[in-house]
Structures are given as structure tokens and as C-alpha cells.
């Protein structure tokens, strides 16, 4: 996994996302998903830029059906933003990096 991005599974979702002391950007993805692979480098860049202020995590929806099901993930990639254990924003599909930066800056 890329430095600064934590790969999580259903068993540690609550501890790493809901109980995080920092805001969290979670990337729900799958290895067969072309758009997921396309947005991944952007998420990695953002982790490099904002990793000290936001926790970046990835959750493979194929291996971990509980967490995506709990949050109604119907299409991927879906990026969800959590703050104090609550979803504060989400972005579905491929968007410009500037859009993701805008969402992050609103959360901070």
C-alpha cells in the first residue's frame, strides 16, 4: 500500500474511521474497477499534501462487504469524508483533483 494510505477491512473500520481523532477520507474501491484505478493517483497525491491533517484509508468493497453496505455504497469509486465519526461529504466517480481539495478544505 502507498505510504500515507491505510488499507482497512471491516474488522477495523470503526476504530480507524469512526473513532479517528482526525477527519478521514475513505476510498471505497475494487481492483477490477477502471475508474477506481484512475482516481487512485489523485488520492495518493492528496495523501501526500494533506496526510498530516486528514487520515487517508482505502476499503476494498469485494473483500469487505459490511462497511460499504452500511453506508449504501452502490457505485465505485466512492470517496467518503468522515469527521468525528459522521459522514460529512461524499464524492462518487472521477472528479477533478481541485474538487477533492475543495471538499477537504471545507472539512478542515
pLDDT band at 6 (very low <50, low <70, confident <90, very high): very high
- Our answer to whether residue 36 is catalytic in this structure is yes
Local structure of 37: helix, strand or coil: helix
Q: Which CATH architecture has domain 5-107?
A: 3-Layer(aba) Sandwich (3.40)
Which residue is catalytic, options 26, 36, 73, 91? 36
Q: What is the pLDDT of residues 13-64, one digit of tens each?
A: 999 999 999 999 999 999 999 999 999 999 999 999 999 999 999 999 999 9
Q: Sketch the domain layout of the chain as residue ranges.
A: 5-107
Residue 2's pLDDT is: 65
Distances (CA, A) of 65 to 22, 45, 55, 100: 24, 27, 21, 25
What residue spans of 17-91 are helical by DSSP H?
A: 34-50, 66-70
Can you give the pTM of this predicted structure? 0.95
Does the pLDDT of residue 1 top 70, yes or no?
A: no
Pick the catalytic residue from 17, 26, 33, 47: 33
CA 108/CA 99 separation, integer angstroms: 15
Amino acid at each position: 500500500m502507498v505510504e500515507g494510505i491505510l488499507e482497512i477491512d471491516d474488522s477495523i473500520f470503526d476504530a480507524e474511521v469512526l473513532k479517528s481523532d482526525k477527519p478521514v477520507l475513505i476510498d471505497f474501491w475494487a481492483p477490477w474497477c477502471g475508474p477506481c484505478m484512475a482516481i487512485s493517483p489523485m488520492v495518493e497525491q492528496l495523501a501526500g499534501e494533506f496526510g498530516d491533517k486528514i487520515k487517508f484509508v482505502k476499503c476494498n468493497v469485494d473483500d469487505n462487504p459490511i462497511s460499504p453496505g452500511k453506508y449504501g455504497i452502490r457505485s465505485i469509486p466512492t470517496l467518503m469524508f468522515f469527521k468525528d465519526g459522521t459522514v460529512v461529504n461524499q464524492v462518487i466517480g472521477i472528479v477533478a483533483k481541485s474538487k477533492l481539495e475543495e471538499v477537504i478544505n471545507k472539512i478542515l
